[in-house]
Amino acid sequence: MSKRALVKYLQSLNKQELEDQVLDLYARFKPVQTYYNFVFNPKEDRLVEEAKLKIANEYFPLKRKRARARRSVAQKYIKQFLLLGLDPVLTAEVMLFNLETAQRFNAKKRINQDAFYKSMFNSFDQAISYIESNGLRAVFKDRIRDIVETAWDQEWYNAEGLENKVAS
């Protein structure tokens, strides 16, 4: 259905039918619930803390023995924050926290899989692009520099690529 057809359909509904449709969407779809919960009660700090806790738990689990170290967990939160229109500073904070947590984990237990480093490079690339597009480079320059230096210290095979992303 095109946007134009949707607008025409919505205009044909009376107020009660429209309310019923929105309530039905709210009841059926978790993303709609998340959106309305955020719009009417935007506890951004709570969302960020929840995301950080989940990301940290991926690398340093509290209840299980082995870390999963899945980048997808952080990416899910970042994508949700972008869709909700969360404050760019807070979104960038979570992006960098993900990288820093992965580096702390790598310092504790060396990872020898190229996929991990490629994945972290993609996360770094996304974070740098987002930070640049929102004009936040000055706010996060020290943390970005620390991430690059840590990559060199940990001998990441793509540390030069990280440094090139910062330079460009």
Would you state the pLDDT for residue 68?
A: 85
pLDDT of amino acid 98: 96
Q: 107-134 burial, b if ≥16 CB within 10 A, otherwise e?
A: eeeebeeeebbebbbebbeebbebbeee
Q: What is the pTM of this model?
A: 0.80
Q: How far apart are CA 31 and CA 26, in angstroms?
A: 8
Q: Would you say 71 and 119 are in contact if contact means Cβ atoms under 8 Å apart? A: yes
* pLDDT at residue 36 in the model: 85
Count, residues in the chain = 168
For residue 39, the model assigns a pLDDT of 81
Q: Which residues, other chains included, contact 146 with Cβ-Cβ below 8 Å and sequence gap of 6+?
A: 100
The stretches in the chain having pLDDT less than 70 are: none
Of the candidates 79, 127, 82, the one whose C-alpha atom is nearest the C-alpha of residue 103 is 127
Could you tell me if 31 and 38 are in contact, meaning their C-beta atoms sit under 8 angstroms apart?
no
